[in-house]
Structure 1
Amino acid sequence: MPKQTTTATLLIVLATTLPGTLLAADNRISPDIESLDVTHNGQTVTIQRGHDRDATLPAMFQKTDRGCPPFCVQPIVALPGVGTIGELEVLDYLRRKSQGDDSILVVDSRTPDWVMRGTIPGAMNIPWNNISSDAAGTFETPDQADAFRQILADEFDGSYNAETDTWDFTDAKTLVLFCNGIWCGQSTENIKTLVDLGYPLHKLKWYRGGMQDWVSVGLTTVKP
């Protein structure tokens, strides 16, 4: 009787003859997601996981000792009522946005020097200090305040009433905000500022893991 081929032997044979096929099948984002095409600055970018099994975190995310303040560990909930989400939820918002849902905006809250090192495809960079210049959400000059109002109106779809100095966010976008990771408070400061202005809690989502978690699982990044 011929000897039966074991599963282990079959895998060795397949790995030798079909390395590309096995690699693609063995490195999905999730059991249901192999990759995702999104639009970034008018270009189609495919988000997938890396195929280098020896890859390590970029040097900027290998550091573990960061001074607090400002680099304090963030709570799991930025504010009660604001949803904390992970990578798969971010991907779902990116998918919906790339399929034409204009009610969603994924916001990289970091300053441009960090964004130049890589960001999430499909995200828009609005530096945190354009929304919250300090913990109180105040600005030093009228020009800064005007720029802030322009972001709220043009990017977030808020409606400003100059007579009452109030905002209506009834038709505002759902914002998915992130920064560098669980030790970065930039996006949480923005969330607090927006909520104080009346932004609906259910329209604010916080990707707590941020860029450090994104690159730690090998997901695609893009540079400006």
Structure 2
Amino acid sequence: MSSPRSLRLTALALCFGASALALAADNKITPTLESVQVQHNGQTVTIQRGHDLNATLPDAFQKTDRGCPPFCVQPMTVVEGVETIGELEVLNYLHRMSQGDKDILLVDSRTPDWVMRGTIPGSVNIPWNRISRDNAGTFETPREADTFEQTLRDDFSVIRDPASGALDFSKAKTLVLFCNGIWCPQSTANIKTLVGIGYPLHKLKWYRGGMQDWLSVGLTSVQP
């Protein structure tokens, strides 16, 4: 026969177990925000926090030691005038996009092999090396320069005046750029390149935490 003490312990365990299940089932983003719906590759995706209390980060984001360079800790401000933002601001931009704002683009600056492991719903992958130039501000090949121009025109709505050759940023999109995390230099390289060609500072936003922070708080990711 069970003792009164063991019965009390069993009751407490059941109580805490039920509380944990309730907590997992009611895991909001903020006290007033439960989820955000976005469009990703033509499909509706609901971004929310996970409900598994035993969930952990994927193996690729559990490492703490990475060689620098290239994996150096990035500053809080990548360029003066470019706003550094967090998860809630990214979600706000995604909500605006889902409401029909076509002047915002969430850019995953990582290479495709990383994107295949998961990305933020609603983002587009524009690998960092497609729009980054070397320290002299040039490209190794004419093809790279052509790809850069195409990305500016087709993805960012930046056109070049045929007469003067100057870039016209009057209809440029607001770009929210991210990569793997605070140790990843890919999105910072893109931002510096864009600032260097005159992209308006107020139209550049940097999600510094990137995928590692996104996943660390249990937010939804998608694979291509």
**After the TM superposition, which parts of structure 1 deviate over 6 Å for at least 4 consecutive aligned residues?**
none
Q: For residues 96 and 191 of structure 1, what CA distance do their matches in structure 2 show?
A: 22
Matches within 5 A, 1:93-172: 93-172=93-172
Q: Cα–Cα, structure 1 residues 135 and 99, in superposed 2: closer, same or farther, change >3 Å? A: farther
Matched residues in 1 for 2:135 and 2:221: separation? 29
Which among 13, 18, 41 is matched to residue 15 of structure 1?
Answer: 18
Q: Is the 8 A contact 1:132 1:138 kept in 2?
A: no
Partner of 2:83: 83
Distance 1:14 1:56, change over 3 A: closer
Other-structure match for 2:212: 212
1:81-133 C-alpha deviation (Å, 9 max, x unpaired): 00000000000000100110000000000000000000000000000000004
RMSD of Structure 2 on Structure 1 (CA): 2.0
SS at match of 2:121: coil
C-alpha contact 1:71 1:184 (8 A) present in aligned 2 = yes
**2:177 aligned residue:** 177
**Is residue 60 of structure 1 aligned with residue 60 of structure 2?**
yes
TM norm structure 2: 0.89
1:165-204 alpha-carbon deviations (Å, 9 max, x no partner): 3211111000000000000011011001101111000000
Name the CA distance, whole Å, in 2 between partners of 1:174 and 1:22.
37
Q: Taking structure 1 as the reference length, what is the TM-score of the superposition?
A: 0.89
SS at match of 2:149: helix
What is the aligned partner in structure 2 of residue 29 from structure 1? 29
| 2:39 aligned counterpart, secondary structure | strand
2:5 is aligned to none
The separation in 2 between residues aligned to 1:111 and 1:121, in whole angstroms, is 16
* Structure 2 spans left out of the alignment, 5+ residues: 1-11
